[in-house]
Amino acid sequence: MTTPEQQPPEPEPTKPPGPTAPQYQDRIYRSPAGLAGGALLLAVIAWLGIDAVVSGQGRTPWLALAVMLLLVPLVVAYTLRPAVYVNDDRLRIRNPFRVIVLPWGRVASLRSGFSNEVLTESGAKYQLWALPVSLRARNRAARQEARAAAQAARGDQGGRGRGGAGAYGPGSVPDGPRRAESDRAMDEMRELHERRQEAEAAQGEVTVRWAYEIAAPALAGAVLLAVLLAVG
């Protein structure tokens, strides 16, 4: 008895090539101090508010609920929500009450002063809430750079005096100037902007969306609080 001859499986149809993936996923910039401060504030609000709701008398629980409804969205908006998302094609800015999407082709410049801002070709200006400017961090980075340069200079002098390569070795000289975290993030975005602003995939329109999910609860809490205070 012979066994049936097995036929070779048919070749699978070739799948059409998909869209080219970006070089990397969205790089996210956020403020660690803002996240920590926001979490602490929310914990304090929850502690005091829940205690007032549970043990309060008369209108106190309602006032506590109204205050919590007003404050929690605002704390989230200004501390936990801000973020900057960056990829090869566009810059997406999530500010307290707006989300702005800027293709690199529409960005004119990224500016750092007392705040970090992005300017569009049409003249619009958007602040980067997730990258606050810290003068203290800038001064600390400048002091660290000055100390590193002084140590490297002393090492070079000692090495020349002894005919060696320096007291601190080859790793004593920093690779580049020390920068504050927000300044380094702005430098990275400027470099990406210069490289991608002419790319076809980096063209498009600027879009702005309001964060109604934040504004609506805060407005409701403000109205409720005003009504309770007016009624007395």
Whole-prediction pTM: 0.71
Tokens 């340069």 correspond to 149
Task: Give the pLDDT of residue 171.
Answer: 44
Instruction: Annotate 43-79 with b (16+ C-beta within 10 A) or e (fewer).
Output: eebeeebeebeeeeeeeeebbbbbbbbbbbbbbbbbb
Low-confidence ranges of the chain (pLDDT < 70): 1-24, 134-179
**Residue 224, token pair as written in the block:** 């409720």
Q: Are residues 99 and 211 in contact, defined by beta-carbon separation less than 8 angstroms?
A: yes
Condensed to tens digits (0 to 9), the pLDDT of residues 113-154 reads 888 999 999 999 999 999 988 655 555 555 555 565 566 666
Neighbours of 100 (CB within 10 A): 20
